[in-house]
Amino acid sequence: MTLLVEMDESDFQDYITDKEKRYTETLSSHTYEIAEDPKIRAKNLLDGYLANGFKTSYHEFYKIVHEKEICGYVWLKIEDEKRSAFLYEIYLFDLYRAKGIGTQVMSEIEEILQERDILYFKLHVFGTNQKAMRLYKTLGFKIAGINMYKRLHE
């Protein structure tokens, strides 16, 4: 069952608006030493990653569709010549979590990457996201590095 449907530019505009809000929340709770407003930082980072928006080279965007309902998004960067891919985001709406959809989507992404002869599939996960870390480990991902911090003053 195919869950991934390529986005068009209209879908992308809806997605990136939603992504900016969610990224602002993520940066608010996971960024410690940067004084810049999280909303401004989220916009600046997204603009940096996607200099040409929907048409930024190597970046691909998908809707996750389950039983004819959009239930999330996938953002990938695939560099065929490097045989490498990076998962910027797999996002499922709350209603669709813990139903095996994320695992299905990851399997479908891997099939796409294998068809394109990609050797390395990379991603980043925050250390506080234990559910995602467990999922990625069960899917065969290995830890490549760990960032750590210590707060010195309250």
The arithmetic mean of pLDDT across residues 88-98, rounded, is: 94
Structure tokens at 125: 């996960």
Q: Are 77 and 118 in contact (CB under 8 A)?
A: no
CB-CB contact of 111 with 105 (8 Å): no
State CA 126 to chain mean position distance: 12
Selected residue with higher pLDDT from 49 and 148: 49
In the chain, the domains with their CATH numbers are 4-138 (3.40.630.30)
Q: Pick from 50, 41, 44, 66: which is nearest to 15 by CA? A: 50
Give me the pLDDT at residue 1, please.
66
CB 76 within 8 A of CB 122: no
> In the predicted model, is pLDDT for residue 146 greater than 90?
no
